[in-house]
Amino acid sequence: ISITELKAGTDGNIISYDASGNPVAVATGSAGQILTSAGAGAPPTFAAAEAGGFVKLQTQTAASDVSNIAFSSTYLTSTYLKYFVCGSVISAQTPGASVVNFQLLPSIDNGSNYNLDIAGFGEGSYNNISNSSSGEFSSGYQFGSGDNRLGIMGSVRAGNQTAMLGMVSFSGYVVNSPNYSKTRSSQYFGTANRMYGDNSSDYYTMPSYTGGTSFESASAWNNLKFQFSAGNIAAGSTITLFGVSQ
């Protein structure tokens, strides 16, 4: 039958069939509920989604070279205590330019100030694979005690060819303190890889740079700014922010 031949029904109901094969109406659910199977022999029902998991909040892709990519309090809210962020970011520094570091600067006043003090030391380590050589050593996951920047990846540099700009791929968690009267620390921890040319015709990789640190803050971070220590982020770079439900 055509849709015009159906009888009037209730807004939001869904037509299904019971165990006997007779048509039934699935009652309208509440806002935010999802349609859930009740198994064989029973019509589905609307139910609340299970708690937990990642919720994509925003993806930003640079349409042109930009000085930074920032996520504001529109997306960093009290809804989540923990966030996950990942991306691939290209440095716009051209061949011959100095090495640059990829940084995270957090804020508690939605970007009016990026002046939080980093912890006295942040642990980190990375494995270096360059052609046939390899090595490992530990390094501070910061650029200086009392600084306001967290180092996600250091020493990014272009090669001597147009298609050899330095790039960082990274992922990590932002965790706000659950109780600022007990601890005034919010944290970032994650891992990052880099491709860099070191101003030569060879491309090098730094496949694993892992670590984290904390900043002293009186309230939750509500703005995250990503940038290089010098120069711009190149067009096509992208970063995505997720809220983590628990």
pLDDT digits (tens, 9 = 90+) for 27-65: 888 776 788 888 887 888 888 777 678 889 999 999 999
Residues 13 and 11: their CA atoms lie apart, in Å, by: 6
Q: Residue 124 — very low, low, confident or very high, per pLDDT cuts 50/70/90?
A: low
Q: What is the pLDDT of residue 195?
A: 78
Whether residue 233 contacts residue 62, with contact meaning beta carbons closer than 8 Å, is answered with yes
Would the pLDDT of 123 be above 70? no
Whether residue 85 contacts residue 76, with contact meaning beta carbons closer than 8 Å, is answered with no
Beta-strand runs (E) in the chain: 14-17, 23-26, 34-36, 45-47, 53-61, 69-71, 82-90, 100-107, 117-118, 123-130, 133-138, 150-156, 167-175, 185-196, 204-216, 223-228, 238-245
Across the chain, what does the average pLDDT equal?
82
What is the arithmetic mean of pLDDT over 167-171? 93
**169 or 28, greater pLDDT:** 169
Residues 246 and 243: their CA atoms lie apart, in Å, by: 10
Q: What is the pLDDT of residue 44?
A: 86
Lowest mean pLDDT, pick from 8-17, 52-61, 207-216: 207-216
Would the pLDDT of 122 be above 60? no
Q: What is the pLDDT of residue 86?
A: 97
User: Which tokens in the block code for residue 11?
Assistant: 């807004």
Residues 7 and 220: their CA atoms lie apart, in Å, by: 54
Would the pLDDT of 163 be above 50? yes
**109 or 121, greater pLDDT:** 109
Enumerate the β-bridge partners of residue 136. 127
pTM of the model: 0.75
Whether residue 16 contacts residue 26, with contact meaning beta carbons closer than 8 Å, is answered with yes
Q: What is the pLDDT of residue 82?
A: 94
**239 or 179, greater pLDDT:** 239
62-113: pLDDT as tens digits = 999 999 999 999 999 988 999 999 999 999 988 878 888 888 999 999 999 9
Q: What is the pLDDT of residue 137?
A: 42
**147 or 153, greater pLDDT:** 153
Whether residue 17 contacts residue 24, with contact meaning beta carbons closer than 8 Å, is answered with yes
Whether residue 56 contacts residue 244, with contact meaning beta carbons closer than 8 Å, is answered with no
What is the arithmetic mean of pLDDT over 197-217? 73
Lowest mean pLDDT, pick from 121-135, 155-169, 180-194: 121-135
